[in-house]
């Protein structure tokens, strides 16, 4: 049995056929020659399919022209007017190409960086070279979206159900989630998936940075419809991280970037922070907006920065350090400032937490 052609593919083939026909095409010619219309099981089915496709093309701004044979008035054909559909030549000044090149350097994520560079290479091949040194020293760097971004974006486009492992922000509990993905959006320095949580039978927002492991698409395409009345802002607000303040023990002369945003804390006189391996460290308080992002930053300092509080931030740092340790790092390249006898996330303050 032949594989069914998707509507988008059929529309694209129809536009190509009607744009390159020398005269015009009748309905019979379209049904016989355009890929996808063979799926119509009857004349009535073809008529409905073709009428729907015509309406979609006109809604998208494709100039569909109807022609009549001057001899036989009932002989009707269709074509796309190239003059009304073709784009004018695209040109950029050297300064504009330079700005686009600068924008292409923005992404640190490998997938987005390679796509951006390919686009700039094509522009440079047909346009002027950027002005040398015009934007020297201006390049910024931003994090690309998480690894879960690409498979979820594909699932949103295909309207396929996804499953993934998710760590809840409020409890730290890790569970398997099954979700109908509706939308992907960026808010507050993070990416969010808004969709229908199948197990909880309710709409939810999920922060991509809390997704662990692979995202798997399951089931057929077009498995659900996306509602129009979704309170995206409200759902994202619930899933957004809560700001807090971290208490850190920092080795003298280390972590200047963290120290610049922190304030010196005065621990109690009889606090365990004044004893043992923490005696030679400065105790500072660091405000943060997102525990996961600051945990990634702190983990990069290894044993130079220990997390004393809050417990959930300490756990987030520990997860990252244990993941690195699981890679079986060569002991010859381990930071010499890390004391192997010290838990690199620091001791807990107060009660133990399961999360």
Q: How far is CA 275 from CA 13, 71, 196, 309, 348, in A?
A: 74, 102, 51, 17, 14
CA atoms within 13 A on the CB side of 204: 16
Looking at per-residue confidence, does 129 or 255 come out higher? 255
pLDDT value for 130: 56
Q: Stretch 57-64: mean pLDDT, rounded?
A: 85
Q: Does residue 341 have a pLDDT over 60?
A: no
Looking at per-residue confidence, does 136 or 195 come out higher? 195
What are the residue boundaries of the structural domains of the chain, listed by start? 7-85, 149-239, 244-333
Determine which of 31-40, 168-177, 188-197, 308-317 has the lowest per-residue pLDDT on average: 168-177
Cβ within 8 Å of residue 208, ≥6 positions away: 145, 146, 148, 149, 152, 190, 191, 192, 193
Q: Stretch 192-209: mean pLDDT, rounded?
A: 92
pLDDT value for 333: 41
- What's the chain's average pLDDT? 77
- Strands 211-218, 202-207: pairing kind: unpaired
Question: What's the rounded Cα separation, in Å, for the pair 72 and 77?
Answer: 11
Most confident of 107-116, 149-158, 162-171: 149-158
Contact 19, 85 (CB under 8 A): yes
Q: Does residue 303 have a pLDDT over 80?
A: yes
Q: Stretch 80-109: mean pLDDT, rounded?
A: 72
Contact 211, 146 (CB under 8 A): yes
Q: Degrees (nearest 5) of the Cα angle 220, 223, 224?
A: 165
CATH 2.30.30 for domain 149-239, yes or no, is yes
The phi, psi pair for 217, rounded to 5°, reads -90, 135
Provide the pLDDT confidence category of residue 342 given band limits of 50, 70 and 90: very low
Query: In this structure, which CATH number among 1.10.10.60, 1.10.10.10, 3.90.920.10, 1.10.1240.10 belongs to the domain 7-85?
Result: 1.10.10.10
pLDDT value for 332: 42
Looking at per-residue confidence, does 206 or 316 come out higher? 206
pLDDT value for 223: 93
Provide the pLDDT confidence category of residue 336 given band limits of 50, 70 and 90: very low
Looking at per-residue confidence, does 9 or 181 come out higher? 181
**pTM (two decimals):** 0.46
Question: What's the rounded Cα separation, in Å, for the pair 148 and 184?
Answer: 11
Tokens representing residue 119 in the block: 């686009």
Looking at per-residue confidence, does 92 or 269 come out higher? 92
pLDDT value for 87: 66
Tokens representing residue 177 in the block: 């989630």
pLDDT value for 7: 78
Q: Does residue 353 have a pLDDT over 50?
A: no
Looking at per-residue confidence, does 184 or 188 come out higher? 184
Tokens representing residue 183 in the block: 């939308």
User: Other CB atoms closer than 10 Å to residue 257's CB: what's the count?
Assistant: 10
Q: What percent of the chain has pLDDT over 70?
A: 75
The phi, psi pair for 225, rounded to 5°, reads -110, 145
- Strands 244-251, 211-218: pairing kind: unpaired
Which residue shows structure tokens 């796309």?
A: 80
CA atoms within 13 A on the CB side of 148: 24
Determine which of 120-124, 142-146, 282-286 has the lowest per-residue pLDDT on average: 142-146
pLDDT, tens digit (0-9, with 9 covering 90-100), for 315-330: 888 888 887 887 754 4
pLDDT value for 340: 35
Determine which of 87-101, 188-202, 261-275, 322-336 has the lowest per-residue pLDDT on average: 322-336
pLDDT value for 180: 96
Provide the pLDDT confidence category of residue 73 given band limits of 50, 70 and 90: low
pLDDT value for 352: 31
């Amino acid at each position: 049995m032949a594989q069914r052609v998707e509507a988008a593919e059929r529309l694209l083939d129809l536009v190509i056929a009607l744009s390159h026909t020398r005269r015009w095409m009748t309905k019979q010619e379209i049904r016989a020659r355009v890929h996808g219309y063979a799926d119509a099981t009857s004349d009535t089915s073809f008529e409905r399919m073709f009428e729907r496709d015509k309406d979609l093309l006109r809604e998208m701004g494709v100039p569909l022209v109807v022609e009549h044979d001057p001899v036989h008035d009932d002989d009707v054909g269709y074509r796309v007017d190239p003059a009304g559909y073709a784009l004018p030549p695209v040109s950029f000044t050297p300064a504009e190409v330079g700005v686009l090149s600068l924008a292409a350097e923005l992404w640190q994520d490998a997938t987005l960086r390679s796509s951006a560079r390919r686009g700039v290479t094509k522009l440079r091949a047909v346009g002027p070279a950027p002005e040398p040194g015009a934007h020297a020293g201006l390049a910024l760097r931003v994090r690309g979206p998480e690894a879960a971004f690409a498979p979820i974006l594909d699932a949103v486009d295909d309207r396929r159900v996804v499953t993934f492992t998710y760590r809840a922000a409020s409890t730290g509990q890790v569970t398997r989630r099954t979700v109908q993905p509706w939308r992907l959006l960026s808010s507050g320095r993070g990416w969010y998936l808004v969709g229908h949580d199948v197990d909880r039978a309710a709409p939810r927002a999920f922060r991509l940075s809390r997704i662990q492991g692979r995202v798997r698409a399951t089931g057929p395409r077009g498995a659900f419809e996306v509602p129009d009345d979704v309170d995206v802002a409200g759902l994202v607000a619930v899933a957004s991280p809560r700001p807090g303040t971290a208490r850190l023990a920092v080795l003298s002369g280390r972590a200047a970037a963290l120290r610049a945003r922190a304030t010196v804390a005065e621990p109690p006189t009889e606090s365990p922070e004044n004893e043992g391996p923490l005696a030679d460290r400065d105790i500072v308080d660091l405000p943060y907006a997102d525990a996961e992002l600051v945990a990634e930053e702190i983990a990069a300092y290894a044993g130079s920065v220990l997390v004393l509080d809050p417990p959930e931030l300490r756990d987030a740092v520990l997860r990252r350090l244990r993941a690195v340790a699981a890679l079986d790092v060569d002991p010859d390249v381990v930071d010499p400032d890390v004391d192997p006898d010290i838990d690199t996330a620091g001791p807990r303050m107060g009660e133990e937490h399961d999360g």
